[in-house]
Amino acid sequence: MILDTSSMDHAVVQPRSTRRLILLSVAGAVILLLGVFLFPSIRRWMRAEKAIDATSLRFASVERGDLLRDVSVQGRVVASLHPTLFSPGQGIVSLRTRAGSQVRTGDRAGWAHASELTDAAGKKAQDENVLQPKFRVMPLPVSAPGAHGEIYFEANVNTDGDVTDVKLITNTTGSEALANQNAAALRSAKFYPIIQKNTRKPFKYYRKVTY
């Protein structure tokens, strides 16, 4: 009596496909080799930045210094027929250009005659007059009717106006005594002190006596 078919059944083992395994192995090896060789290029490509054409770049040396800017300006004189000019100082201002005429930088559109400049010129002339030696006591004249020629002296004057030294430069009269008399007369003279910048100054005085 047969109860079931278990005694006749047996497991069938499916044979493995060796060809498929070989193909998968080869494909994997190829992919691995490609990855090894291409990995550096892929890595550089992933890290690459944006490239710029070298012809569009400009290079120059930078030095530290002051910033200089040049400004060119052109203007037009716009004024009435009788313009009025105002100055912070007293003086006379004259306009040399006509109303509406074009002027450029450096053109002389007018001139000013300031009283400060006039006063300064007058003060300078006054100072020059002050610096001129003036006698307080004139040297006594030395008469010599028969003498002919010139005697030229150089005198040193101190801050009080006193003559400290007399030097003979030239004597064409031929008389030494006459030169000595004129030198003694110059030593006895007195001068007004010369004051410059509120300070008394010594000076030299040159005197020529003609016979």
Query: Same structural domain for residues 100 and 146?
Result: no
**What local confidence, expressed as pLDDT, does residue 61 receive?**
84
The number of distinct structural domains making up the chain is 2
Residue 37 included in any domain: no
Give the C-alpha separation, 150 to 143, whole Å.
13
pTM score, whole prediction = 0.41
pLDDT tens, position by position, 155-180: 999 999 999 999 999 999 999 999 99
Taking a C-beta distance cutoff of 8 angstroms, is the pair 153, 180 a contact?
no
What is the pLDDT, as a whole number, of residue 166? Answer: 95
Residue 45: inside a domain: no
Q: Which residue positions in the chain have pLDDT lower than 50? A: none
Give domain status of residue 121, yes or no: no
pLDDT in tens, 74-85: 766 665 555 565
CATH assignment at residue 187: 3.30.2420
Q: What local confidence, expressed as pLDDT, does residue 127 receive?
A: 55
**CA 140 to CA 180: how far, in whole Å?**
13
Same domain, 138 and 104: no
Give the range of the structural domain holding residue 157, as residue numbers without chain letter. Answer: 133-210
- φ/ψ (deg, to 5) at 125: -65, -35
What is the signed CA dihedral for 133, 138, 140, 144, rounded to 10 degrees? 50
Specify the DSSP element, H or E, that contains 169.
Answer: strand 163-171
Q: Which residues are 157's β-sheet partners?
A: 163, 203
Give the pLDDT confidence score for residue 165 in this predicted structure: 94
